[in-house]
């Protein structure tokens, strides 16, 4: 496997991609997945929601890329959606080098990273993206988004970090409450959440699901009864000596997400 670190911003070394590219086998062409770790837009939790997730998707026929994006109020929205679009553009522009099908690119994200992942599926046509990047309209839209215990429209702490202010206006908040932005052009969605998540209320996912239903979108959603926020892979790899972060049933989500993507 080849590992590569790719800068996405000349002036900020903290904005970059990590590429995990499997050795080519015959003529087999892989899918691509952009992994977006969480961290409340205050940090990037790449130790548990970055490389372990990337490596978990490799056996399902993906090459994987982990996005490190603007956090801690250093750059306010819409900087993050531009960075995600830049990452997608880089992956697609270099599809042959990475041995991936550019039409088979998915995004997966966790918590606040789930919010940015959902942005790739809902806000892909935001004018700021096309002002910043020279690319065809829709080039940055993923084939599907996988949202894992995602922040979507109700997490004030994360939104303050994203918007760069401790006192966001309702107008600013509405820009990033993603259930309000779901429409017929929203990318297909897979969601996983837990019913008793005390950090990010499951109603984030439920409201997003309702918005998808309102526009006639099909989606796949798994709500498990009992697990704390941040469960990641739900197995030994990301348990980190915290028993609540291991759950054999929830650990099936990667396989289920890959199967969902295969059927799109």
Instruction: Say if strands 189-194 and 144-148 run parallel, antiparallel, or are unpaired.
Output: parallel
**pLDDT, average across residues 115-121:** 98
Whether the model pTM is above 0.85 = yes
**pLDDT, average across residues 119-140:** 98
Does residue 233 sit in helix, strand or coil?
coil
First-residue to last-residue Cα distance in the chain: 27
Amino acid 117: pLDDT: 98
Amino acid 122: pLDDT: 98
Half-sphere exposure of 218 (CA within 13 A, CB side): 4
Please tell me what DSSP assigns to residue 188.
P
Rounded CA separation 16/84 (Å): 10
Rounded CA separation 69/61 (Å): 25
Could you tell me the pLDDT band of residue 110, with boundaries at 50, 70 and 90? Answer: very high
Rounded CA separation 62/242 (Å): 29
- In percent, how much of the chain has pLDDT > 90? 99
From the list 81, 95, 92, 78, the residue with the least C-alpha distance to 36 is: 81
Give the model confidence (pLDDT) of 176-214 as tens digits.
Answer: 999 999 999 999 999 999 999 999 999 999 999 999 999
Give the model confidence (pLDDT) of 16-39 as tens digits.
Answer: 999 999 999 999 999 999 999 999
**pLDDT, average across residues 41-51:** 97
Which residue reads 């550019």 in tokens?
102
Rounded CA separation 214/245 (Å): 34
Give the model confidence (pLDDT) of 55-67 as tens digits.
Answer: 999 999 999 999 9
Rounded CA separation 86/6 (Å): 11
């Amino acid at each position: 496997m080849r590992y590569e670190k790719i800068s996405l911003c000349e002036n900020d070394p903290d904005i970059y991609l990590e590429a995990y590219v499997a050795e080519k086998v015959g003529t087999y062409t892989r899918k691509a997945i952009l992994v977006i770790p969480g961290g409340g837009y205050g940090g990037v939790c790449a130790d548990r929601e970055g490389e372990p997730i990337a490596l978990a998707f490799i056996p399902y026929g993906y090459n994987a890329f982990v996005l490190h994006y603007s956090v801690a109020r250093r750059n306010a929205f819409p900087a993050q959606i531009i960075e995600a679009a830049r990452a997608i553009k880089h992956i697609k522009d270099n599809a042959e080098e990475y041995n991936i099908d550019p039409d088979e690119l998915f995004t997966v994200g966790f918590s606040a990273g789930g919010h940015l992942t959902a942005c790739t599926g809902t806000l892909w046509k935001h004018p700021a993206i096309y002002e910043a990047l020279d690319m065809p309209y829709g080039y940055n839209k993923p084939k599907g988004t996988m949202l894992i215990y995602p922040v979507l429209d109700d997490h004030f702490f994360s939104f303050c970090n994203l918007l760069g202010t401790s006192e966001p206006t309702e107008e600013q908040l509405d820009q990033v409450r993603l259930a309000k932005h779901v429409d017929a052009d929203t990318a297909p969605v897979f969601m996983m959440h837990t019913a008793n998540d005390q950090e990010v209320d499951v109603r984030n996912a439920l409201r997003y699901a309702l918005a998808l239903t309102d526009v006639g979108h099909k989606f796949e959603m798994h709500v498990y009864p009992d697990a704390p926020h941040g469960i990641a892979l739900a197995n030994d790899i990301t348990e980190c000596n915290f028993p609540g972060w291991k759950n054999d049933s929830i650990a099936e989500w990667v396989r289920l997400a890959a199967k969902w993507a295969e059927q799109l």
